[in-house]
Structure 1
């Protein structure tokens, strides 16, 4: 059967053989006879070498082989264990059944695959349908997007055109806005330039007016650059007309405000100085407005009795500074009005005092010239400072370059009214004043106020009046000083026995000290003290020293003259040494002191040498010449006479008594006394040195042992005496 089955196969299938061999190998049949026969049978079908290879291969360890066998085993029909197999192999019918079973299994798998493929195909076809639908939708969307894109591009093109036109229109609008802002006045400002129903103007009027001036200035400048621009010509004409109307409104407002002014003001309403500032470019209207203001104020000020520093209004006014003719006329009217007021106030403070009673009338102080005049000048200075503040406030918005000059000029006009009453009272007070110190302080006081009234012009009448008063008081001072000094010195007498300065000298020095002490006041800071001291000394010290010399000449002894002169000169020196700019005079006095000390020194040294018998020896030693031969051969220079003189001088050194003049004890200055004594000893030592040199010279023929002390011993002894 086996052979037949094998022969029935048209071809040999190695795969089938391999699967069968695997089954056989896995079975426990190696010791079975049937297996052996089967192997022999197989050897006839398969080459021996192939069989050996299969048998010798270790297929039991092959995982793939094992998995294949396990798979086939599940397909092989179950064998009944009770049925005994007569053959070693299953029949080939079973093999065919197995193959059939495998084919069926494969067919079932294929059918299942086909079913699954059909399902997948259906799904793919459904997906394709959806894709086609989506493609249609996308194509539709693409067409719509393309259509929208074309429409959008058209819109963008139109938008770009509109934006370009918008920018052009905006540029034109900006140009027009800038043009009208620069060369036209807004409606609100144009309305603000009209006055209200009551004729007043508000703060908005001045803002609009300043803007109108700026616009006119801009338009005028542009018209200069482009004179053929008709629009600018029309604009300038229109704006100028508006400006003229504004000036008229402003002038009417100033007239109204000036008529409403009261007397008690130190500050003006803001509307006034703003109006004046606005009108300053129109000189005629400016001066007319100031004239209106001055007339209005003058009617009140002339009859006003107001305290000088307590009343006032709110703010200062700014004049119409650009209209010079109106401006100066208005300021002149203002100054005249204020001058009348300040004169009236000056008369009141002189006769009535302050309104609140805190200050008495200045006229009550007329007995005290210094305080009387100082209070008047102080009140005037303070009043002018207030007037300056008022004018500064009035002109605070005007041009700075003219304000200072106008303020000084206006203040000078105001102060001019005070000159006559002030000068009259001061001259009367000066005529009554006989104290030279007071006159000196008054002259310095006038000069002080001349320097401090810098708020006035240099050619101001008040400043010139004070300068005249300074010159008058200075002349009166020096005249009074000369008269006083002459009167004092006319009573000068000869000094007493003590040789002290007489009373006239002390009075004159006291007067000089009072005059110099008065310069410690602050008012004297502006005075040229050096020049003033020179004049004072020429009027006081020079006559004093001359009279001292004259009186001293009446003394009997020249030593008395020297001592008295020393005492007087030291007294003068002690006074003037305390002050500045006295160096020249101090040098002159010191020279005179030294001259008088020389007299005393010479007299004392001569007296000492005379008393010791050395005067004749000194004179001959001093006049001796080498050509005369030996000094001992000269008459009167014999050795015996020299020894006698030296003995007397040594005795004096041992017991120095009576070598000083009694007049030296009357010297009041300790420094002068010490100086006289010291210089006397120096002269004696100098004379002794001459004698010592001659006597110790061998050529003069004197013995070496004469008891002559050396110069150093004599100097030491005399210094002990002086100490």
Structure 2
């Protein structure tokens, strides 16, 4: 704390009791009791002041800043100096406040002038306000009316813009001199929107405006559709299906025109008639090399002159029709299928608008009109386009069918028509006129084929009575199988389904195969056994070779193989009986098979000796003699198998005979090396027989 003590205090003289300075508390108390002096009171007050008091410290700091020296003179005058300074300062303040008062007087004068001017102006403003208030009220009223008028004007302009069409738009929509372009379609879209939005106006109490607008726009829309209808008709007459730009504009026009189903259908009818004439003329040019008007086309090779073969002639015509149909379909596909959904929507909305036109159709169908099918419409249109050419095709093909007298070409022609029948069915669907024509032509070709086959069979009746000397297949069967091969090769190239191939060829087999096999069976019925069996086996083996080449004749092949197997079994039995008869053992073997009693009566030494001698004479040439019986069987391997099976049956019978002889000898001898009497008379064994007949 001593460090913070001002320098003035540091210069004070030290306290001393001898010098009459501050006394001790005890002394002070005693002196106070006697009576306090002013100096002592002051000193006591100073000493009682705390150095930590803020005001005291500030006073000391102020003295220190004034540079007051700690002298007796200074201590005596310090109070007076300070009071003098206070008095001087107060004088300066009073002087300054005098000047402030003077300025305030000036300000008061200025404010008084301003108040006077303000009051004067206020009086003038109140007077002016009272004079202009009626004008302001009228101006506010006029401004309000102006705003209302502007709002009504904007509303009128918006209404006029939305619910009316400009002269240019009406001209683009209704004037036939104006082209059918984007401006036309935009105007038509706006007219339809106006007509639909007028329904809102009909909801108001006053419907006059809505009715008038609807009547006006409906009239404009009808005129617009009539303009579009006439434009489409003109364009259809000269339409270039290869021009993509024209197709784009025509697609849009048809999409819009579909909203009027009657006009749309009329345009399609006109287009179909136009395309039918063009296609018919093109087909006539392809046939003759010149158009129907007599104009020759040097770039065309006439089908009538280049195709001399009837089959090629019909094939070229069908190929042209198919190519033209595909090209027509591809060209028209972009007009209908690409925008099929839009056309369907347009026709649906158009039917709603023209419902009264469809009442008769609805009554006939007992239901609503069918939905628009783009693919079906395309197929119908292509079919109508090709209708004229298909009529010419039918006439030409009928002439070829009726003039043909050969069986194989007749079948190839029928199969060719069947091929294109399936092709056109996939292309145009099952209900096209072209398909009906193809069905009729194919049926006519099959009738002609069957008639020619029956005529051919009738001419072979004499040959059915002449049996070949070598028991081989007759010439008529060989010829019929060659023809059947041609039929099967042709049918194998057809488009018939795998499941239907076998059933589809059954009718051909019934006409071109069964009668000839039946003729062979009739010939065999007049022959003796085994020649009849050998003859039929030879015929069926040749037929099986032909039938086995294709998968769609397997059932008939199995039938012939089953009959061949039956004939083979019959020949095996014949050969077996031949071995029994020629060996002289038939009666003995028969007796052995009947039982022991009969065998004992038959197994006599004399009979066995005679049979043994005859067997020995037969065995050396038995195999060759048996094979000679089957010499006419054309399958030598089959003849060997038949003879082997017969020899095996004979060996089995002989083994039974051998067992019966051994059993009949009984116990006549106990010596195994000594033969019995019967065994001595008949010494041949089964093993020897097998070797000799192998």
What TM-score does the superposition give when structure 1 sets the normalisation length? 0.60
Between the two proteins, the alignment pairs up a number of residues equal to 522
1:576 partnered with 2:547? yes
| Rounded Cα–Cα distance in structure 1 between residues aligned with 2:547 and 2:161 | 77
Q: Which has the larger radius of gyration?
A: 1
Secondary structure of the residue aligned to 2:512 is helix
Change over 3 Å in CA distance of 1:617–1:231 after alignment to 2: farther
Change over 3 Å in CA distance of 1:476–1:657 after alignment to 2: closer
Secondary structure of the residue aligned to 2:551 is coil
| Rounded Cα–Cα distance in structure 2 between residues aligned with 1:569 and 1:702 | 56
Change over 3 Å in CA distance of 1:714–1:500 after alignment to 2: farther
| Rounded Cα–Cα distance in structure 2 between residues aligned with 1:7 and 1:118 | 33
Shift of 1:574: 0.8
Quick check: 2:465–2:523 contact (8 Å CA) kept in 1?
yes
Quick check: 1:493–1:502 contact (8 Å CA) kept in 2?
no
Change over 3 Å in CA distance of 1:265–1:430 after alignment to 2: same
Counterpart of 2:643 in structure 1 is 677
| Rounded Cα–Cα distance in structure 1 between residues aligned with 2:179 and 2:493 | 54
Counterpart of 1:277 in structure 2 is 255
The equivalences for 1:495-510 within 5 A come to 498-510=470-482
Counterpart of 1:423 in structure 2 is 394
Counterpart of 1:342 in structure 2 is 279
| Rounded Cα–Cα distance in structure 2 between residues aligned with 1:573 and 1:695 | 47
Change over 3 Å in CA distance of 1:399–1:236 after alignment to 2: farther
The match for 1:115 among 50, 53, 63 is 63
Quick check: 2:410–2:449 contact (8 Å CA) kept in 1?
yes
Secondary structure of the residue aligned to 1:322 is coil
| Rounded Cα–Cα distance in structure 1 between residues aligned with 2:386 and 2:472 | 55
Q: Deviations over 1:659-688 (max 9, x none)?
A: 523132442225522431332133213423
Shift of 1:117: 5.8
The equivalences for 1:198-347 within 5 A come to 198-210=177-189, 212-214=191-193, 216-217=195-196, 220=199, 228-230=203-205, 234-235=209-210, 237-238=212-213, 241-252=216-227, 255=230, 258-259=233-234, 263=238, 265-266=240-241, 267=243, 268=246, 270-278=248-256, 320-347=257-284
Shift of 1:182: 13
Shift of 1:447: 3.1
| Rounded Cα–Cα distance in structure 1 between residues aligned with 2:424 and 2:58 | 135
Quick check: 1:604–1:659 contact (8 Å CA) kept in 2?
no
Secondary structure of the residue aligned to 1:535 is helix
The match for 1:386 among 327, 344, 351 is 327
Change over 3 Å in CA distance of 1:470–1:117 after alignment to 2: same
Counterpart of 2:343 in structure 1 is 398
| Rounded Cα–Cα distance in structure 2 between residues aligned with 1:534 and 1:111 | 145
The match for 2:443 among 448, 454, 471 is 471
Q: Deviations over 1:528-569 (max 9, x none)?
A: 5434432222223332223323444666x6333332322221
Quick check: 1:562–1:600 contact (8 Å CA) kept in 2?
yes
Quick check: 1:501–1:564 contact (8 Å CA) kept in 2?
yes
Quick check: 1:419–1:465 contact (8 Å CA) kept in 2?
yes
Change over 3 Å in CA distance of 1:606–1:485 after alignment to 2: same
Question: Structure 2 regions of 5+ residues with no counterpart?
Answer: 1-15, 26-50, 52-56, 68-81, 94-150, 346-370
| Rounded Cα–Cα distance in structure 2 between residues aligned with 1:181 and 1:717 | 126
1:661 partnered with 2:641? no
Shift of 1:478: 1.0
The match for 1:534 among 475, 492, 506 is 506
Q: Deviations over 1:413-448 (max 9, x none)?
A: 333323442222112211221222222122233333
The match for 1:565 among 513, 536, 546 is 536
Shift of 1:363: 0.7
The equivalences for 1:349-388 within 5 A come to 349-352=286-289, 359-388=300-329
Change over 3 Å in CA distance of 1:12–1:427 after alignment to 2: closer
Change over 3 Å in CA distance of 1:6–1:406 after alignment to 2: closer
Greater displacement, 588-597 / 333-342: 588-597
Shift of 1:718: 6.6
Change over 3 Å in CA distance of 1:418–1:640 after alignment to 2: same
1:641 partnered with 2:603? no
| Rounded Cα–Cα distance in structure 2 between residues aligned with 1:649 and 1:233 | 130
Change over 3 Å in CA distance of 1:241–1:459 after alignment to 2: same
1:585 partnered with 2:585? no
Counterpart of 2:599 in structure 1 is 631
Change over 3 Å in CA distance of 1:111–1:209 after alignment to 2: closer
Change over 3 Å in CA distance of 1:561–1:269 after alignment to 2: closer
What TM-score does the superposition give when structure 2 sets the normalisation length? 0.63
Quick check: 1:416–1:460 contact (8 Å CA) kept in 2?
no
Q: Deviations over 1:451-496 (max 9, x none)?
A: 3334657565443332222111101101112223443564468566
Quick check: 1:352–1:360 contact (8 Å CA) kept in 2?
yes
